[in-house]
Structures are given as C-alpha cells and as structure tokens.
Amino acid sequence: MALPDKSFPVSWDQFHRDARALAWRVASVSKEWRGIVTITRGGLVPAAIVSRELEIRVIETVCIASYHDYDMQGDIKVLKDISPALLENDGEGVLIIDDLTDTGKTAELVRAMMPKAHFATVYAKPKGMPQVDTFITEVSQDTWIFFPWDMGFTYQEPIAGAGKG
C-alpha cells in the first residue's frame, strides 16, 4: 500500500486526551445514553475511554472489514451485526464510536443500521464528515493517521529534511 506524503502520528497521550474531549462533547448532547456501539477494531480504544468517562456500561461491537488501499476503499463486509436491543427505535439514544471517519463508507453503512444514533469519531476527514455528528479533529483527506497501536518507536526525519539525501 502506497502511503501519502502527509502523516499525522498520534501518541497514546494525545489519543487519550482527544478521546476524553470526545466524551465531553457527547456528554453535552445527552446524559442518558442507552449504550455504545463501537466499530471494530479502531473504535475499541476510544469506546473504552468514552464509556469510562460517561459511565456507560452497555458496549456493543459491529465488526466490519474493509479491504482498501490509500486511494480507494473496496468491498465492505459486516462480520458481526449489532445486537437487536440496541437497534430498537433505529438506534435512538445510542452512541456510535469510531477512531476515524475517512471516506465515510463504513460510517454510512453503520448509520443506515441505526439512523437515529449519535455518531462520534475522534478524527474526521472531509469525505467522511457528512456521516458523523461529533468529532474532535479534522485531518485533510490526503493525510495518513498513524495511531499509537500501529506504531513502534523509530527515528523520525525532520519535515525540512524529508527527501534530501
């Protein structure tokens, strides 16, 4: 997979701060969430943080695999559906959590399952923004986000020196 020139590395500390900020924002929407539906796998970490901060005990997953490269998202496959109890009333009172909305295709699929749920992501790219109700940080479409669970500790070339030999 060819990665774009722009990268946005996120540390564990930064991600935790951003996920807590997401909890603050969605707390202003409702104090009475019936539960969280998190999109796996990326939504698992922010859902854990938001559920702790808002004392939400019912957490469900929707497991989706999308096979893609940077430029184009391919087929999306639902590996595990949402429990019927949270689907009641089109998901009203349910908080959907993910780490990122990129192209918006996955978000669109989940939103169709629960049209009245509140969709919240930590990061959002322009193509995916129409599908979410709340997000913390906008990132340009041509930027690759490196989440802390995807990274190891390595030397980083200074921006000014990138590509110089």
**Structure-block tokens of residue 135:** 């997000």
Residue 62, pLDDT above cutoff 80: yes
In a domain, 80, yes or no: yes
Task: State the Cα–Cα distance between residues 131 and 80, nearest whole angstrom.
Answer: 21
**Helix 44-54 × helix 12-27 angle, to 10°:** 50
- Residue 150 belongs to a domain: no
Q: Which residues contact 57 (CB under 8 A, 6 or more apart)?
A: 35, 51
The residue from 5, 18, 102, 142 that is catalytic is 102
57 among the known binding-site residues?
A: no
More confident residue, 4 or 157: 157
Assess whether 90 carries a catalytic annotation.
no
Question: Which CATH number characterizes residue 127's domain?
Answer: 3.40.50.2020
Q: What percent of the chain has pLDDT over 90?
A: 77
Domain count along the chain: 1
Query: Has residue 136 been placed in a domain?
Result: yes
The predicted-structure confidence for 102-125, as pLDDT tens digits, reads as follows 999 999 999 999 999 999 999 999
Compute the mean pLDDT over every residue in the chain, rounded to the nearest whole number. Answer: 91
CA 62 to chain centre: 13
What's the rounded mean pLDDT across residues 5-22?
Answer: 95
Range of the domain at 92: 6-143
In a domain, 86, yes or no: yes
